[in-house]
Amino acid sequence: MIRFGIIGTNWISRDFVEAIKRNPKCEVGAIYSRKEETALEFQKDCGVGGKVFTDLEEMGKSSDIDAVYIASPNSLHGEQTTIFLLNKKHIICEKPITTDLEIFDRNIKIAEKNKVVYMEAMKTTFLPNMKVLKENLHRLGDIRNVVFNFSQYSSRYDLLKNGELTNVFDTKFHGGSSFDLGIYPLYVTLDLFGEPLSFTARNYLVESGVDGTGTMILTYSDKIVTIIHSKITQTFVPNEILGEKGSILIDDVSKMRSIKLILRDGTSEELTVEQDSNQMVYELDEFLNLIENGELESKVNTFKNSRKSVEILSRVRFKI
């Protein structure tokens, strides 16, 4: 039984805890929050027990946990991970796995030395419809263009316009659209097509100084991938992978709830398969299987892909 420590008491942590509750191989062993009352309220709302911590170092040394799920603000991911890796805890960390390449490389070395799993919690790559997408890409012939658009209007942008600064728009916490939303289509791109030959980007910075929206262009020897991301606008069009023989339409590049093939002659085929409503169950299965099998790195969310996504996003997110 793997006992999880949970860092972060937001909605995404709640979803992960629900996934834990459904899996017989694990349970919640501890909750961390800066305020004890926040952690206790989280436990009550989620229907879980475990020890409550307000000190990360103390939690790291605790024998109450075997693994840690980190869902704190972006800028804290790397250093918090280090604390637990040094204490030989397995780590599944929300995207971005860190915002600093030096910290990421250091954490890999610690994880390998201490023989613990270190994995980015990028759920999309484990979805059944992602598998379907990969299995059908060859039907498009040579792929020439890819257009991914993850634009999702944030209610916290309204708060920002009214003078209230929240973590997702705060430069101190490495907020902004690139690390919050752009990372999804970027990671999918790296998983499908590998590293690009070159990349460039342009962004619109909001008044707090972070990128509210932006566009990345990744160039390959045989194709061009355009990624649009935004926390200040909302898209209503599907994503598209265009090949010489046809296209694949994806409703949402993050959730992949619908996959449709359209050949050049106009014939179409629904490729969608059923997925769990809590999509975190798939990444949790991967993480637990790695621990059970004594493997230190996911073959899907690889160190290479995580590192490249951090490198690209770090270099492009302030380009205007």
pLDDT digits (tens, 9 = 90+) for 11-46: 999 999 999 999 999 999 999 999 999 999 999 999
Per DSSP, the three-state class of 204 is strand
| Separation of alpha carbons 160 and 163, rounded Å | 5
Per-residue confidence (pLDDT) for residue 317, from 0 to 100? 82
* Mean pLDDT for the stretch of residues 161-176: 95
| Separation of alpha carbons 67 and 117, rounded Å | 9
Structure tokens at 88: 């030989």
Per DSSP, the three-state class of 152 is coil
Per-residue confidence (pLDDT) for residue 167, from 0 to 100? 93
In contact, 74 and 174? CB cutoff 8 Å: yes
For residue 293, give the H/E element and its range.
helix 280-293
Per-residue confidence (pLDDT) for residue 232, from 0 to 100? 98
What band does 320 get if pLDDT is binned at 50, 70 and 90?
A: low
Question: Phi/psi at 272 (nearest 5 deg)?
Answer: -60, 135
For residue 2, give the H/E element and its range.
strand 2-7
Name the CATH code of domain 2-121 (choices 3.90.230.10, 3.40.50.720, 1.10.1240.10, 3.30.360.10).
3.40.50.720
For residue 131, give the H/E element and its range.
helix 128-136
Residues 6+ apart with CB under 8 A from 126: 282, 283, 285, 286, 300, 301
Per DSSP, the three-state class of 228 is strand
Residues of the chain within CATH 3.40.50.720 domain(s) are 2-121
In contact, 248 and 146? CB cutoff 8 Å: no
Residues of the chain within CATH 3.30.360.10 domain(s) are 125-275
Residues in the chain: 320
- State if pTM tops 0.85: yes
CATH fold of 125-275 reads Dihydrodipicolinate Reductase; domain 2 (3.30.360)
Structure tokens at 37: 């009352």
Per-residue confidence (pLDDT) for residue 318, from 0 to 100? 76
| Separation of alpha carbons 99 and 26, rounded Å | 29
CA distance readout (Å), 93 to 5, 79, 225, 280? 12, 11, 27, 12
Among 8-12, 140-144, 254-258, where is mean pLDDT lowest? Answer: 8-12
